[in-house]
């Protein structure tokens, strides 16, 4: 079955460490996204990519980095520069530009201890 796989589901990180969240899709989608969700807030866009080897910052990109070396993969690195990294992270993908159904992964819970 086609879908989006995020891993790990739960992750604990010590302050000062970088951590990478994996996102893989087999839907052959061009566009991929990373969102952050905090309690009581809507999802906020961290980074997005509309095509391989290209990505753009979203609304809250500071302290995060991404790569898009393959169409099916869009990993997110939460760096030590991210001041408040404890959150729920969601990866999503869609077929392309304008008015396409968006598909989400199951999300990753990151806790900084």
Partner 1 sequence: KNEVEQSPQNLTAQEGEFITINCSYSVGISALHWLQQHPGGGIVSLFMLSSGKKKHGRLIATINIQEKHSSLHITASHPRDSAVYICAAPTQGGSEKLVFGKGTKLTVNP
In the complex, the residues that contact partner 1 under the rule CB under 8 A are 31, 35, 37, 40-45, 48, 50, 58, 88, 90, 92, 94, 96-107, 109
Determine if residue 15 is left, alpha or beta; phi over 0 gives left, psi from -120 to 50 gives alpha, anything else beta. beta
Strands ordered across the beta sheet of 19-25? 4-7, 19-25, 76-78, 64-66
Residue closer to partner 1 by CB (options 5, 18) is 5
Residue linked to tokens 């809507």 = 42
Distance, CA of 22 to CA of 49 (rounded, Å): 15
- Rounded CA-CA distance 47/93 in Å is 12
- The nearest distance, CB 16 to partner 1, in angstroms, is 26
CB-nearer residue toward partner 1: 52 or 80: 52
Nearer to partner 1 by C-beta: 47 or 112?
47
Residue closer to partner 1, measured from CB, 16 or 39: 39
């Amino acid at each position: 079955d086609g879908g989006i796989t995020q891993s790990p589901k739960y992750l604990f990180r010590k302050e000062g460490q970088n951590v990478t969240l994996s996102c893989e899709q087999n839907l052959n989608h061009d566009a991929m996204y990373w969102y952050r969700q905090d309690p009581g807030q809507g999802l906020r866009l961290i980074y997005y990519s509309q095509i391989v080897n290209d990505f753009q910052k979203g609304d809250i990109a500071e302290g995060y980095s991404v790569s898009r070396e393959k169409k099916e993969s869009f990993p997110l690195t939460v760096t030590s520069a991210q001041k408040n990294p404890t959150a729920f992270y969601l990866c999503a993908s869609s077929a392309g530009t304008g008015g396409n159904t968006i598909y989400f992964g199951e999300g990753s819970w990151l806790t900084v201890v």
